[in-house]
Amino acid sequence: MLSSYGPEFFGYRRRSTRVVMAGRLAIGGDNPLRVQSMTTTDTGDVEASIAQAARLAQAGCELVRLTAPNLSAARALERIKAGLLKRGVDIPLAADIHFSPEVAMTAADFVEKIRINPGNFADTKTFAHKEYSVAEYARELVRVEERFMPLVDKLKRLKRALRIGVNHGSLSDRILNRFGDTPQGMVESALEFARLCVKADFHSLVFSMKASNVKVTIAAYRLLASAMAAEGMDYPFHLGVTEAGEGEDGRIKSAIGIGSLLADGLGDTLRVSLTEEPEAEIPVCAALAKPFQGRKAHKGPQPGRAYCEDYFSYSRRPSRRIVVQGMALGGSEPIRVVTPPVPEKGLEPGPELIRADLPLAEAETAEEAVKQGQVLRQSGKEAILALRGRDFSALLKEYRLLASLAEDFPILVRAPRAIDAERQVLDSSVLIGSLVCDGIGDAVEIDSGLAPRRELELIYNILQGAGARRVKAEFISCPGCGRTIYDLQNTVLRLKRELGHLKGVKIAVMGCIVNGPGEMADADFGYVGGAPGKINLYAGKTCVRKGVPAEQAVEALLELIRERGFGVRP
């Protein structure tokens, strides 16, 4: 909640970072926001990986990541790199490493960047509960250093870059037992490894703090920016919302998380994680980055906007509860949905407020809207504050300012009409979703010009993506990679058809076990690739059926959900 912020918060300035080179690609500083993606091919299938990486480059991708789950895959990176160069595709490659420092050491010979997950690079995850003494914790860090430093030394010698990529669902047992499954734990996980790199005078570092929950993602990046400023670190950030899903839902969640952070001035490179072909991610990345390209980094001491303690956790902005058109809004009421009249009867969920005759104090600036609201209140009338304008990024800044000036007036967040339907989804998600995640907004609307039913659907989808309202099942699904061991995309589509009507149920569909059990920890049910052709089914954090044949697993999940008392279509 932003009411405690000074004026410096509301002027966008890009966080100042050092420049990190991944081959010839410069990340950070005043360089453009870089766009990247990851292959979904088996890295051992060299020709397929070359072809997909080439398609990504043609689509505008600036860095391609490939998984290296074993030494064989790591060695295949040499042939993939050579094959791309033979085709005239000179694009930097990154190797995605989990569990094995030895594989990272091999991959470093062939790619420009290594990505490690500090939660499993030197640790095994058992979800064990243990109280660590100060001495025991220190010994654990010594063990991590012994495992990690050979890679650091090699990367430094070969002039490679390193991404320290923290995932919310795969924090080590050591971090979980001290900090919990929290943004603070994510930050400490990153800093443990950052401090070791600083100790070794290795600074070609990029950091990511990904979660499937957009509020956790936003909080973790903001906390990391604050913590790094306190320790004199200026490393670039890679932005993303992990397991965002597919279709419009995936785009909405990515836009909310990434757009919020770009509006904060955070972020130097980004990836949109969609359960689709990786080429589909690139236009979305580019569209999210475009409004924020070309903005110069802040020089001198970092502004205080990201370093207020209240800014890292969600709280709803306090507002006065009022009744309009027979509907209560403000206070602790749900965020209300405003639309034009919807002619279709029986539309569920329907509109809650109609645009016409709302008691709006509306202006182009926050100061003027507040003045209008005060005049209405002095005359004994209720007022809802709103802003009008066509530039969504300027509106985002102005709404943040309005939240700090608006006393206890309820606020209506209105997204303006975009240039086309695709931009309408992304721009509306960035504006409405970002503000809702910061606790701003008592009612929302989109002035889109779309059909009323479509406009209503989009508004509710954005509120669900921001975690503010639940109107259907929520699906957490990874984008897939070379570790995926079943038909992920078609499985997600089928489950959404079968289960999308289950309001409030959260279902995780994960391609493999690397992040699966962790990233789906807050899901009600999980569908996780366990072995080639085998699926593990979860109820909450508990694996209830292991090794289900993939061809039977969808039906088995439907039966599990029925057993737990949720209605499934026959």
387-433, pLDDT tens digit by residue? 999 888 889 989 999 999 999 999 999 999 999 999 999 999 999 99
Using alpha carbons, select from 315, 316, 322 the residue that is nearest to residue 353: 322
What pLDDT score does 74 carry? 96
* Matching residue, tokens 């303690």: 309
Distance CA 34, CA 17 (A): 14
In this predicted structure, what is the pLDDT of residue 70? Answer: 94
Q: Which of 289, 318, 312 is nearest to 215 (CA)?
A: 312
Contacts of 565 (CB under 8 A, 6+ apart): none
Contact yes or no for 259/244 (Cβ under 8 A): no
Does the pTM surpass 0.85? The reply is yes
Does the structural domain 322-465 have CATH classification 3.20.20.20?
A: yes
| Cβ neighbours of 20 (radius 10 Å) | 23
Show the CA angle centred on residue 134, arms to residues 129 and 137, nearest 5°: 55
Say yes or no: do domains 7-312 and 474-563 share a fold.
no
- Give 338's strand partners: 353
**What was the pLDDT predicted at 434?**
93
pLDDT score of 26: 98
DSSP for 187-230?
A: HHHHHHHHHHHHHTT---EEEEEE-SSHHHHHHHHHHHHHHHHH
> In a 3-state reduction of DSSP, which class is residue 393?
helix
Given a cut of 90, whether residue 199 has pLDDT beyond it is: yes
More confident residue, 220 or 529: 220
pLDDT in tens, 69-80: 999 999 999 999
CA distance 353 to 445: 10
Which helix (H) or strand (E) segment holds residue 69: the answer is none
Q: Which of 416, 422, 408 is nearest to 449 (CA)?
A: 416
| 63 in Cβ contact with 91 (< 8 Å) | yes
User: Would the pLDDT of 300 be above 60?
Assistant: no
Mean of per-residue pLDDT scores for the chain = 88
Please check the confidence at residue 228 and state whether its pLDDT lies above 80. yes
Please report the pLDDT score of residue 44 as a whole number.
Answer: 95
Half-sphere exposure of 424 (CA within 13 A, CB side): 20
Q: What integer is the mean pLDDT of 370-394?
A: 93
What CATH class does 474-563 carry?
Answer: alpha beta
Per-residue pLDDT tens digits for 443-470: 999 998 888 888 899 999 999 999 999 8
24 or 173, higher pLDDT = 24
Parallel, antiparallel or unpaired: strands 322-324 and 269-270: unpaired
- DSSP bridge partners of 328: 323
- Mean pLDDT of all residues in 236-258: 92
C-alpha 507/C-alpha 520 separation (Å) is 8
Mean pLDDT confidence for 506-528: 76
Task: Output the CA torsion sign for 150, 156, 161, 166.
Answer: positive
> For 514-529, what is the mean pLDDT?
74
CATH for 7-312, among 3.40.50.720, 3.40.50.620, 3.20.20.20, 3.40.605.10? Answer: 3.20.20.20
DSSP string, 278-306: GGGHHHHHHHHHGGGTTPPBPPSSPPGGG
Please state the domain extents for the chain: 7-312, 322-465, 474-563
| pLDDT, average across residues 518-545 | 83
507 in helix, strand or coil? strand
Predicted local distance difference test score (pLDDT) of residue 268: 97
d(CA 73, CA 63): 18
One DSSP character per residue, 99-134 reads S-HHHHHHHTTT-SEEEE-TTTSS--------PPPH
Report residue 444 as tokens: 């929302």
pLDDT of residue 172: 85
- Does a cis peptide bond (omega within 30 degrees of 0) precede residue 341? no
